[in-house]
Every structure is written in structure tokens, then in C-alpha cells.
Amino acid sequence: MRLLRKYPRFGRSTIPTKRVLFCGVIPSLHYAEIEAKGRLCPRFVYAIPKDSGGFEMMYSEIHQHRVSFTSLEAFKALQSSAPPLLELFHYVDFQKSKDIVLMRGAYKNPLTSSEAVFLVNQLQMYYRIDPERYKLVHTFNHNPMFFDFNVLLKNLDNPDKLTPSHMKMKSNSNSNAKEADS
């Protein structure tokens, strides 16, 4: 998936809240796989690494063509009323004719842009790219008593798996091009 643009938007409340919007294009087959697995396993948790060496837990839910992320603490306290920190909307109008799905995302504080991108990449990693990670998603949804947060946290220790494979290819080809120029 390629992120195209981001720009700020202010809410309509009396206290302005800054939301940052971004968009992307997803190949139709990739989205179809995420959507199908999301119907079977709509909920999951993600750990976002923090500069302090710790992590923050995020809860996500997939519903139709929308994915929302909120902090796990807010979800525990407010359940379905917890405010989303990141929302992804998928538009399937061109799924059959152009073989693409358009995505619009919006995130707000305290989430940073790098954390929002990290969550979008993790969504792909757990639901589409890595079958071993999808087993964790399945366990979380269907056998929660056997879900092990330590396995989730171990995935943070493996930097090669933090970035989807298609993103690694681009960075490797860029470094190869720089080496060729030298």
C-alpha cells in the first residue's frame, strides 16, 4: 500500500481537535484477503514501541470497510464508546473495474504519524503477510484464554518483521541504487 498525502483537519466541536488525514491505494487482492480474515477475526491488539523502551497497547476492530484503533486502556474503561485514535475507511468502488481499493485514514493525538503508519503496516502484517502472526489474531478472537501477550511482544523484538515485505524491497532497491552510483 502506498500512502499518498496527509493534511490537517479541524473538528467541528467548540474545542478544535487536530486530526490528520492520509490516503493510500491498496491492490484489490490484498484488501480482499484482509477483509475476509477481518470478517472471521474482527478484533485484535497491537503493541506500539515507545522511545522510552516500553510500549503502548492498542485495540482494533474491523467492521465492514472500516478499521478503528483505540488505546486498550480506553477500550477497557469505555468499551464501544472509546474514542478512536486512528480510523481507516476503505472505498471499494474501483475494486472490480481498476483492481484497487482506496483508503482514507485519520489519526489524532496522542498518536504520531509514525505510530499511525506503524499500525497500518501491522494490520497488513497480521492479517495478510505473515501466516504465523495471523494465528495470533485467530487465537485472540476464537480462543482468548490461550492468547499470549508475550508472543505479541516478541514480535516487536524482530525488526525485520516490523515492516511489510513490499516496503523492505523498496528500501533495499534504493540502497542498491545508491551503491551503484558510488
pLDDT tens for 133-158 read 999 999 999 999 999 999 999 888 66
pTM: 0.78
Mean pLDDT value of segment 102-123: 94
Residue 6: pLDDT band (50, 70, 90) is very low
Q: How many residues does the chain have?
A: 182
In the chain, the DSSP E strands lie at 2-10, 18-27, 43-49, 55-63, 66-71, 86-91, 100-108
pLDDT digits (tens, 9 = 90+) for 42-99: 999 999 998 888 899 999 999 999 999 999 999 999 998 999 999 999 999 999 999 9
Average pLDDT rounded to a whole number, residues 124-140: 96
